[in-house]
Amino acid sequence: MKLASFFVAGFLFAIGLVVGGMTQPKKIINFLDVGGDWDPSLAFVMLGAVGVHSLTYRLTMRRSSPLFAAKFLVPQRSDIDARLVLGGVIFGAGWGLGGYCPGPALVAGGALVQEALLFIGMTVIGHWVFGRYDAWARQRAVEASTPKENRAPVGGT
């Protein structure tokens, strides 16, 4: 039942993206082109999404627990740090340049749209590169905070 609900939610989301035209990069690019052929339809799609989320979030959080989990997993952090800002800038730049964000790209990729498949491939590579960099940066931070005499010898000896 849990898997079926995931499928139905994903399917409804995909249908909404297609009906709203959000799988067409030209829609996104034209929304960002305020000095040229501006298309405000993305704003209406966003307002609709925010409205639906606001209503369903309030109704859902009135429940004592979710349908398919022991407790609600609501993010607790609200701070804004450099990683969040940089991630938002990279996401926005990719969205503006490519005309896709991950959801619409997956829907268009399912239809075998070549540009979407390229976007998905580059997204996967970007995630992999960031994962490698993040692991390296965290290791460096641990090493920098560990006194030299407590560090493991280099080369395993």
Q: Is residue 154 pLDDT above 70, yes or no?
A: no
The pLDDT tens digits of the residues spanning 26-65 come to 998 899 888 988 999 999 999 999 999 999 999 999 999 9
Helix axes 82-98, 25-32, angle to 10 degrees: 110
d(CA 89, CA 94): 9
Q: Please, what is the average pLDDT of the chain? A: 89
Residue 1, pLDDT score: 84
Contact assessment for residue 108 and residue 116, using Cβ atoms and an 8 Å cutoff = yes
Task: Tell me which residue has tokens 């829907």.
Answer: 107
- For residue 156, what pLDDT band results from cuts at 50, 70 and 90? low
Residue 69, pLDDT score: 87
Q: Is residue 21 pLDDT above 80, yes or no?
A: yes
The proportion of the chain whose per-residue pLDDT surpasses 70, expressed as a percent, equals 95
How confident is the model over 66-73, as a mean pLDDT? 89
DSSP characters over 69-82: SSS----------H
The pLDDT tens digits of the residues spanning 5-14 come to 999 999 999 9
Q: For residue 44, what are the CA distances in angstroms to 22, 33, 54, 111, 128?
A: 11, 16, 15, 25, 34
* Domain boundaries defined on the chain: 2-74+81-156
Task: Kindly tell me the number of DSSP H helices and DSSP E strands found in the chain.
Answer: 6, 0
3: which 2 tokens?
Answer: 């898997």
